[in-house]
Amino acid sequence: MSNVGAWLTVAAAMPSLIAGASSARIEVERLRRLAVVGAAVMLAASLIVAMLPHAFELRTSAFTSEPGGEAVLRVDALSSVLLPLAAGLWLLTVAVTPRAALDRGGLRRTALATLITFASFLTESAVVLLLLSAGSLWTFLTALGGHQYQRRIVAVYLGASTVLFGVGVALLIGPHTQGTRWASVGLWIIAAAALLRKGIVPFHAWVPELFDRGRLGPTILYSAPQVGAYMTVVLIVPRATPELLRIIAVLALATSVYGAALALVQTSARRACGYLFMSQSALVMAGLDCTSTSALAGGLVVWLSAGLAFAGLARSVLVLEARRGRLDLSSYHGGYDRTPLLAISFLTMGLACTGFPGTLGFVGQELLVNGAVDAFPVMGFAIVAASALTGLAVLRMYFSLFCGRRDVFAHSALRFELTRREAWTLVAVIVALIGLGIAPRPLVDSRLAASDRILRERAHMSARE
Amino acid sequence: MTSLSLAWLVLLGVGSPFLLFAVLGGASLLNRPLRERWTGFLAAGSMTLSCAVLLTGLIIAGATRTGPRLLSFGAWSASHEGGVAIEFLVDRASLGFAALAAAIAGVVSAFSYRYLHREPGYNRYFILLSLFVSGMLLVALAGNVEVLFVGWELVGLSSALLVGFFHDRPAAVANALRVFSVYRVSDAAMLSAAVLLRHVAGTDSLSLLFGAARATTAGLSSANATMIAVLLIVAVAGKSALLPFSGWLPRAMEGPTPSSAVYYGSLSIHAGCFLLLRSAPLLMHAPAARVLAGVLGLVTAAFAGLATRVQSDVKSSLAYASLTQVGLIVVEIALGWNRLAFVHLAGHACFRLLQFLSAPNVLHDLHGMEETLSERSPKSVGVEVLLPQRWRRRLFLFALERGFLDSVLDRLVVNPFTATARRLTNLDAWLCGAVLPVERMLAPQAVREQDE
């Protein structure tokens, strides 16, 4: 246990240090290099926590809060793999984001946002999650700076989600509401909050607008870890009736097909990313229907693959935007020969999003379909449709952004190629997605263990009620 | 012992092109692409090795005269339920087709080594070719739906990317997307068949469809068998360019000639036929699907036979000629003449490969001969001369416009889909704005301008 505690401390210390160092008089580029090193250390420490055999013992009564009875701080089969995801997304952000889009304040905010996400994955206390959710919203709002339209979207939609979450938590764990009808009303309200935060149909309209206008970087960092899915797993899944879970799954499947279909016709690369994100993140929610252990495990694997692959894809768009300006999908931009690695990264990450064989996404989607097909065959057909449309949308984006034109207009002195830091980070993400896609057993076994634990907890809660 | 050696041979045969892909792709990813000579040498070596071991496997399987064998390499994705297993269904047909695929890929590799000399995308071509061969071998040897689907997807993606090989040409890229969109329909149909099979039969083993477990095939109800068979026929129609999906075939000719030869002359276009051939026991159980396959094959053969006569470029003409034979092979399968269909498929794949690869030389020689003789070579005359002039003109237009298939699909599917999706996009934008406070809603344009 002490080992786990020590590694967790190291991991959590890194973003805290960078946030603190951003106030010191350190040159921005140097601070950024420090942030890259810090994120790499955090990733390594999180991976060690995930691989430590005794990691699941960190759940003691000393950390248990009174109101909900849930542990304020714990590491278990579910969270142990999400911690490296939070760290990996931070590393991707600080290593790949163009220099102009990540100043001193940006570095501080990304560190704080990562710390909040990291802490969220370490708790199952509703109150702590609510506080962290509010903190995350504040960080996101400050990161959007002067982009008023985007700030208003975030304030209205995510603010509403946080308020709903607060009301739901109050009803769920309030001293006079536990075990009453109000507790189940609270659960429905929390479910609505999670759906709003995740952009599930019919609460989805804000997602593509948010991606399309203003700053894409903070939007990726806020969206990719999918804390809304975590809220659902920790608070809703153990307590919800099968009907509520089925409603969430049906809405999520509709979102997945809808998002993929609309991504296919967008003329803005950012907006297409928004719809792709909607589609991918909805698959995670669909897996939480709890039809079987393997379907749930599939949802958890898709969570990781979609988080990593989508963040990589959207960061690639950001990198390309830094070189070419706003990207329009109604024409061909060419330039494959100048940025082949970026093109390959974009395509690979996009294919991982679609669940293409050989990537982690395929493993997750297979588990999801195989696990759900007996009890809920509609899920299988919906995933097939969503995957087909997503694949088409990704290839259309790839062709439009990297092919179809000779680079005759660009001056030969213009530097288009990736920096070494960008190149290595993108290669690392590709290796992770393909490596875990080719040898997925350790990860899948850990996800099966996590889903087994979630289902046991659910059975235990049902028996108690 | 034989089983063990066969397993090793199959593993080596399938693994060899995968290894080639990993080596070439890894080197390119690390920005250290191999030299042309090394790439060509490794590609030819890998394909030769694959062909040799698969042929050895075929000889062993033929000598032992045992029935189909399921070679299982254990669970791949998970040690518990729901995991994907690596399984190959090995018999003379699957090994024969796999060996044929590896041999043809070897020939094309050797041809491409010189044909694509100093082409900027030389490495990319061989990476995609190795991905394609890996996919074809998986399609040929698949023992369960997952393995089949992996192969099917690899073939589809590599095909689309090779159609767009000359990626600085807008037409090549647009056509690649079109090809890929039909392939996605095919993929979706294939996966839907798999989902249905899993739902009604509780298994994803292809023994059920391919007849290794005929007793259990009877366990499928006729309605379920028909639905699965129809979905498979849609998948096959997409991959093998049967009607109404034939429109993508001439578009696919944008790629380099060797890739056109291996995809649309010999292997990829026959992948669907091979799948249908393997599913023959299921078709026997679903007479309505057999009729559908037969009609589809016959109509496609007639249409392609007509279209091939009026194409103005040799690659399109050859592609439609291939499609004519593919249609006939499908008819043979529907009639239950499976051995004839297999021989037809193998023979046609080899013959058409030769035609595609030699076409540039033949054309060159023909032009030379015409210049020497100062006259055009005589036109061939077909049965259409028996028709009245008015009908001949109509048929000519129909064939020249390739059956108007693209415009019909555009009008019936693509345009309504695009228009609906665009309306929904606008609705989303409106809904998002509608919930924001009123004062901003009154001036959304100003706000947007301020943001941008």
pLDDT tens across the length of chain B (452 residues): 466 688 889 999 999 999 999 999 999 888 888 898 899 899 999 999 999 999 998 888 888 777 778 888 877 766 555 567 788 888 888 999 999 999 999 999 999 988 888 888 899 999 999 999 999 999 999 888 888 989 999 999 999 999 999 988 999 999 999 999 999 999 999 989 888 888 887 776 776 666 655 545 556 788 888 999 999 999 999 999 998 898 888 888 888 888 888 888 888 899 999 999 888 888 888 889 999 999 999 999 999 998 998 888 888 889 999 999 999 999 999 999 999 999 999 999 999 999 888 888 888 888 888 888 877 777 766 777 788 888 888 888 888 888 888 889 899 999 999 999 999 999 998 888 777 664 455 444 544 454 44
Which pLDDT score, from 0 to 100, does residue A67 have?
44
CB distance A371–B31 less than 8 Å? no
CB distance A403–B181 less than 8 Å? no
User: A176 touching B, CB under 8 A?
Assistant: no
Rounded to the nearest angstrom, the minimum Cα separation between B406 and chain A is: 18
User: A453 touching B, CB under 8 A?
Assistant: no
User: B423 touching A, CB under 8 A?
Assistant: no
Q: CA-to-CA distance for A6 and A16, rounded, in angstroms? A: 15
CB distance A369–B195 less than 8 Å? yes
User: B254 touching A, CB under 8 A?
Assistant: no
Angle, CA A174 vertex, CA A170 and CA A179 arms, to 5°: 115
Per-residue pLDDT tens over the stretch A287-311: 887 678 888 888 899 999 999 999 9
Residue type, B379: K
A448 CB neighbours in chain B (<8 A) are 78, 80, 82
Rounded to the nearest angstrom, the minimum Cα separation between A204 and chain B is: 8
User: A417 touching B, CB under 8 A?
Assistant: no
Give the residue from B102, B1, B111, B2 showing the smallest Cα distance to B52. B102
Which pLDDT score, from 0 to 100, does residue B368 have?
84
Candidates A368, A389, A395, partner chain B, best to mutate (most B CBs within 10 A): A395
Residue B98 gets the label, from left (phi > 0), alpha (psi -120 to 50) or beta, of alpha
Residues contacting A324, CB < 8 A, separation 6+: A333, A335
* HSE-up (13 A, CA, CB side) for residue A195: 25
Q: CA-to-CA distance for A278 and B88, rounded, in angstroms? A: 37
Residues contacting B287, CB < 8 A, separation 6+: none
What tokens appear for B143 in the block?
């023992």
Whether residue A266 is predicted with pLDDT greater than 90 in this model: the reply is yes
Longest dimension (CA), chain B: 83
Instruction: Check the CA dihedral B356-B361-B362-B364 and report its sign.
Output: positive
Per-residue pLDDT tens over the stretch A29-71: 899 999 999 999 999 999 998 888 765 656 655 444 444 456 7
DSSP-derived secondary structure letter, B383: G
Give me Rg for the CA atoms of chain A.
Answer: 21
Give backbone dihedrals phi and psi of A36, rounded to 5 degrees, phi first: -65, -45
Q: Across residues A387-397, what is the average pLDDT?
A: 94
User: A461 touching B, CB under 8 A?
Assistant: no
pTM: 0.91
CB distance A149–B174 less than 8 Å? no
A22 contacts A104 by C-beta, under 8 angstroms: yes
What tokens appear for B364 in the block?
């060159």
User: B440 touching A, CB under 8 A?
Assistant: yes
CB distance B198–A403 less than 8 Å? no
Give the residue from A225, A226, A217 showing the smallest Cα distance to A147. A217
Q: CA-to-CA distance for A371 and A292, rounded, in angstroms? A: 6
Strand partners, B90: B69
Give the residue from A120, A112, A121, A93 showing the smallest Cα distance to A32. A93
Alpha helices in A57-103 (DSSP H): 77-96
Which pLDDT score, from 0 to 100, does residue B83 have?
63
CB distance B447–A149 less than 8 Å? yes
CB distance A147–B451 less than 8 Å? yes
User: A130 touching B, CB under 8 A?
Assistant: no
- Please give the ipTM for the structure prediction: 0.90
Whether residue A206 is predicted with pLDDT greater than 80 in this model: the reply is yes
Measure CA A256 to chain center: 15
Q: CA-to-CA distance for B304 and B322, rounded, in angstroms? A: 8
Residue B12 gets the label, from left (phi > 0), alpha (psi -120 to 50) or beta, of alpha
User: What ranges do the domains of chain B cover?
Assistant: 1-141, 144-374+382-400, 403-451
Query: Which residue in B has a C-alpha nearest to residue A258's C-alpha?
Result: B421
Classify residue B419 as exposed, middle or buried by CB count within 10 Å of its CB (0-12, 13-18, 19+): exposed
Element (H, E) at A323: helix A293-324
Which pLDDT score, from 0 to 100, does residue B451 have?
45
User: B421 touching A, CB under 8 A?
Assistant: yes
User: B31 touching A, CB under 8 A?
Assistant: yes
Which pLDDT score, from 0 to 100, does residue A65 have?
46
A422 CB neighbours in chain B (<8 A) are none
CB distance B82–A213 less than 8 Å? no
Angle between helices B122-141 and B145-163 (to 10 degrees): 150
